[in-house]
Structure 1
């Protein structure tokens, strides 16, 4: 029983850490997009926006996968 609880604890901690990391990455991308307001930086804006969309997809997948386990 103790082993099972230990495994669940580490699994939960790992999932929490992943969620926090994804959230922080999204915040960084949001900040980068907000900083790119100069029209001469449209290429950087596109790249940051694309990365943000990819990260949002990862976050949504993470949330979906973990809400099914609860």
Structure 2
């Protein structure tokens, strides 16, 4: 029973760490998109937008 609890806690911690990392990456991408849109650089905005979509997809599969 104790082993099962330890495994579940480790798994939960790993999931929380992944969520925090992905959240930080999404915030950085959001900030980058805002900076890019302020500078009217459409090509860079498109690339950043694609990265956000990939992150969203990985979050949904998580």
SS of the aligned residue for 2:29 comes to helix
Tell me how far apart the structure 1 counterparts of residues 50 and 6 of structure 2 sit (CA, whole Å).
39
Unaligned runs of 5+ in 2: none
RMSD over aligned CA atoms reads 0.9
1:42 Cα deviation from its structure 2 partner:
1.6
Find runs of 4+ consecutive structure 1 residues off by over 3 angstroms: none
Task: Tell me the TM-score normalized by structure 1.
Answer: 0.80
Task: Tell me the TM-score normalized by structure 2.
Answer: 0.89
Unaligned runs of 5+ in 1: 63-70
Higher relative contact order (CA 8 A, sep 6+): 1
1:15 Cα deviation from its structure 2 partner:
0.5
